[in-house]
Amino acid sequence: MNDKYLIMETIDLLEKKEIEELDKYLKEYRQAHNIYMRLLAVRMVKLGETRTSVGEFIRKDRKTIGNWVKDYDKYGIEGLIPDYSSCGTKSKLTNDQLIELKILLSDHDKHYTIIDAKELIENRFGVTYSYKQVWEITRKKLGFNYCKPFLIYKEAPADAEDILLKKHP
């Protein structure tokens, strides 16, 4: 019974590794596949197939096929390379503001929480973000790691660290 369970667990582990490897290759070759599909569609249209029949064959709309043919005619092969640079929402903060924010948040004398960073962005740059978006900016864009905020006691003596490190006889 134990051997059977061990074999099943090993198979599951191997399948998981195989799936992870396949996912890695899918990400790596995704753009190549998109370019291949576009080249194939343009070639078929150039050979006389209708945009509608090509669209049905590769499961894309005829207008999409027409756009690919226009892009190819205008820009050549370069026109078929997908451009994802304009995808997504544009940042409300400029790159210079992000650099300034990183410098401000890097101040070793102050320990900012996400809420503090959110207020700093609102006061300094006049931009309002949600808590989640400030978390995304500080962690992913600015590269800060997550650490639990801690209390700094104002009543502590100036030489508190020395007192704690002092060896007692």
What pLDDT sits at residue 66?
95
pLDDT of residue 30: 75
What's the pLDDT at 51?
A: 94
Using CA atoms of 103, 107, 111, 116 in order, give the dihedral in degrees to the nearest 10. -40
Contacts of 155-163 with C-beta under 8 Å, sequence gap 24+, read none
DSSP 23: H
**Residue 52 dihedral angles phi and psi, to the nearest 5°:** -65, -45
List phi, psi (to 5°) of 109.
Answer: -80, -20
Indicate the domain borders of the chain.
2-80, 94-169
**Residue 48: how many CA atoms within 13 Å on its side-chain side?**
0
What is the pTM assigned to this prediction?
0.43
pLDDT for the residue 27 = 75
Tell me what pLDDT residue 121 has.
92
Give the pLDDT confidence score for residue 139 in this predicted structure.
Answer: 83
Residue 34: its pLDDT value, please? 86
Q: What is the pLDDT of residue 151?
A: 45
The per-residue pLDDT for 13 is 65
> By the 8 A CB rule, do 127 and 111 touch?
no
Whole-number pLDDT of residue 92 = 87
Give the per-residue pLDDT at 150.
44
**Cβ-Cβ contacts under 8 Å for 70 (sequence gap 6 or more):** none
pLDDT at 149: 45
Q: Which residues of the chain have pLDDT under 70?
A: 1-14, 146-154, 156, 167-169
- For 78-134, the DSSP string reads GGGS---TT-SPPPSS-HHHHHHHHHHHT-TT----HHHHHHHHHHHH-----HHHH
